[in-house]
Amino acid sequence: MSVTSVVGTRRTAKADAIVVFVVQDEKHFNAAQKSLTSDIPHLLPLFASGDFTAKANQTALAYGGSATVSPRVILVGMGQTSSITPERIRRAAAAAAKRAGAAGCSTIALETMPMNGIDSATVAQAITEGALLSQYRFDKYKTIKNESSNGLVKKITLVTDRPHLKAVTKGAAMGEHIVGGVTLARDLANAPNCEIYPETLAKKVQEVGKKAGFKTTVLDKKKIEDLKMGGLLGVNAGSVRPPVFIVMEHMKGPKNEKPLVLVGKGITFDTGGISIKPAAGMSDMKSDMHGAASVIGTMYTIAKMGLKRNVIALVPSTENMPSGTAYVPGDILTFMNGKTAEIDNTDAEGRLILADALCYADRFKPSAVIDLATLTGACVIALGTVTTGMMGTDEKTKNRLRAAADRTSEYVCELPLYEEYEEQISSDYADIKNSGGRNAGAITAALFLKHFVSYPWVHLDIAGTGIQPKAGHYTPKGGSGVGVRLLADMIRHW
């Protein structure tokens, strides 16, 4: 997938289709109709039919004839001008790209100009994200490619005028780095466990780090034992494959700037362990490392953007398997910081590996730590697959995430961490218990993690938003890549 920006017009742009964004309000719609039919007379019958009203995400395809270099013209509706946001632009660009793909186009050119007071760099970034992210498919294991299920648009060109070219080029580059990170996260999350297990995940991160320009260190089982990461080792006990602990570093900020530390849950497959899950839907658990995928994708994006910040990402990774050597309910694990937890349910494993990672984060004296995890089914019940659950101790970071959520439409909503919930995870035999039962399960999971933090901290539960039951405007079914756009935006605006 590639993006270029050029100076041109709807008549001169060269692609399989030229895409024109059209707003719905009467005055603007009439003006657009006038200018479009004067530029491209072949559009007259389309407008005369009244079929195209420019309501949001509506598309129409026509043929430009001799008036345009591109053989096809795709009109895409933006709805009312006053409701145009970057998200509206992403969705419209996605609708246009899907229409083009369905018509067999592999290249499209999109008119890129400021809209509703949104500057041209932001518009260019939103178009790039929407158009390219909508074309994502995880089909590398299909030996026979099904055309109708394949996004065919491989290359987009942003067409603008000379005064806007510089900003459009910059916005397109930002969009491209984001698409790269989101695509990486989706690929990792969608890869089956036979492809991505802890050691191959680590290898993949090393490759990506080399390509994008961040430093990677992989701690193997021996080092994990030396560090006394009892949570990670406990969860790994049932698995033939060893665990890994991955450290990524992007230290491009001022020397004295304390780093932001990201932590991603890296359970490459979650069977539930001895507290085994039901068979139906278990294959989704190949994506139980989406938190890891999100932070890896974010590191790729911020490194490619060359952001001048200090950011470190940590990924504790293992499978959660049942076997004769697996940890069992009633076991007591001792974490890196010496705290102990009684195992009530081996399917509440994510918090156990995160606990060690949160202890490890301490050594970096972080300005803040944000962890991402497909942590609880309870969060899916509370917020569905639309909104990420946000919990934590640091108001400033929560506000930064809220602002980034507004800009990216990767929504977050806070759940409370009142101490009254604590008694649900109290244990008769250890410091805490790893499961607080069904009530408020997302909250008690976060309260478990809170026992291991000693710095400003926010936890994002992406169990719902990370694994989508069906395709959205520009998100696929399955691993969505959630978190990359959110975090990269937050770090960019820090």
Residue nearest to Mn ion (CB): 347
Nearer to Zn ion, 187 or 270 (CB): 270
Least distance between Zn ion and beta carbon 290 (Å) = 10
Cβ 374 vs Cβ 468: under 8 Å? no
- Which amino acid is located at 339 in the chain? K
DSSP-assigned letter for residue 118: B
270 near Mn ion, rule: CB under 5 A: yes
Residue among 16, 176, 187, 288 that touches Zn ion (CB under 5 A): 288
- Which amino acid is located at 129 in the chain? E
Separation between Cα atoms, residue 296 and residue 266, nearest integer Å? 11
Residues 6+ apart with CB under 8 A from 243: 198, 221, 224, 232, 233, 235, 236, 316, 317, 318, 353
Stretch that binds Zn ion, among 67-75, 169-177, 350-358, 478-486 (CB under 5 A): 350-358
User: Does residue 387 come out as left (phi exceeding 0), alpha (psi in the -120 to 50 range) or beta?
Assistant: beta
Least distance between Mn ion and beta carbon 198 (Å) = 16
Separation between Cα atoms, residue 293 and residue 190, nearest integer Å? 10
350 near Zn ion, rule: CB under 5 A: yes
Separation between Cα atoms, residue 263 and residue 260, nearest integer Å? 10
- Binding pattern to Zn ion, positions 57-96, x when CB under 5 A? ----------------------------------------
Least distance between Zn ion and beta carbon 262 (Å) = 18
Nearer to Mn ion, 176 or 270 (CB): 270
Residue nearest to Zn ion (CB): 270
Separation between Cα atoms, residue 197 and residue 44, nearest integer Å? 57
Separation between Cα atoms, residue 295 and residue 431, nearest integer Å? 30
347 near Mn ion, rule: CB under 5 A: yes
Q: How many residues sit in the footprint of Zn ion (CB under 5 A)?
A: 4
Mutual angle of helices 290-305 and 165-190, in 10-degree steps: 150
Nearer to Mn ion, 111 or 349 (CB): 349
Nearer to Zn ion, 268 or 298 (CB): 268
Q: In what helix (H) or strand (E) does residue 451 lie, and over which residues does it extend?
A: none
Residue 35: CB atoms within 10 A of its CB come to: 12
Nearer to Zn ion, 270 or 394 (CB): 270
Least distance between Mn ion and beta carbon 341 (Å) = 15
Stretch that binds Mn ion, among 117-125, 196-204, 263-271, 481-489 (CB under 5 A): 263-271
Least distance between Zn ion and beta carbon 373 (Å) = 8
Residue 247: CB atoms within 10 A of its CB come to: 18
Q: Which ranges constitute the DSSP H helices of 330-428?
A: 350-361, 377-383, 395-408
Catalytic site residue 277? yes
Stretch that binds Zn ion, among 37-45, 268-276, 302-310, 485-493 (CB under 5 A): 268-276
Residue among 176, 270, 410, 489 that touches Zn ion (CB under 5 A): 270
* Nearest partner of 201 among 215, 214, 179, 184, judged by Cα: 184
Kindly list the distances between the CA atom of residue 263 and the CA atoms of 162, 307, 468, in Å, as whole numbers in the listed order.
Answer: 43, 19, 22
Residue 16 binding partner per list Mn ion, Zn ion, none, with a CB distance cut-off of 5 to 8 Å that depends on partner kind: none
Nearer to Zn ion, 94 or 235 (CB): 235
Nearer to Zn ion, 52 or 269 (CB): 269
Separation between Cα atoms, residue 373 and residue 203, nearest integer Å? 21
Stretch that binds Zn ion, among 36-44, 311-319, 342-350, 409-417 (CB under 5 A): 342-350
Cβ 372 vs Cβ 313: under 8 Å? no
Residue 87 binding partner per list Zn ion, Mn ion, none, with a CB distance cut-off of 5 to 8 Å that depends on partner kind: none
Least distance between Mn ion and beta carbon 199 (Å) = 21
Separation between Cα atoms, residue 358 and residue 364, nearest integer Å? 11
Given the residues 351, 398, 433, 485, select the one marked as catalytic.
351
Given the residues 11, 155, 252, 277, select the one marked as catalytic.
277
Map residue 431 onto helix, strand or coil: coil
Least distance between Mn ion and beta carbon 261 (Å) = 23
Phi, psi for 211 (deg, rounded to 5): -70, -45
Stretch that binds Zn ion, among 180-188, 192-200, 347-355, 403-411 (CB under 5 A): 347-355
249 near Zn ion, rule: CB under 5 A: no
Least distance between Zn ion and beta carbon 206 (Å) = 24
- With the C-alpha atoms ordered 348, 349, 352, 358, is the resulting torsion angle positive or negative? negative
Nearer to Mn ion, 249 or 347 (CB): 347
Catalytic residues: 277, 351
Q: Binding residues for Zn ion, per CB under 5 A?
A: 267, 270, 288, 350
* Binding residues for Mn ion (CB under 5 A): 270, 347, 349
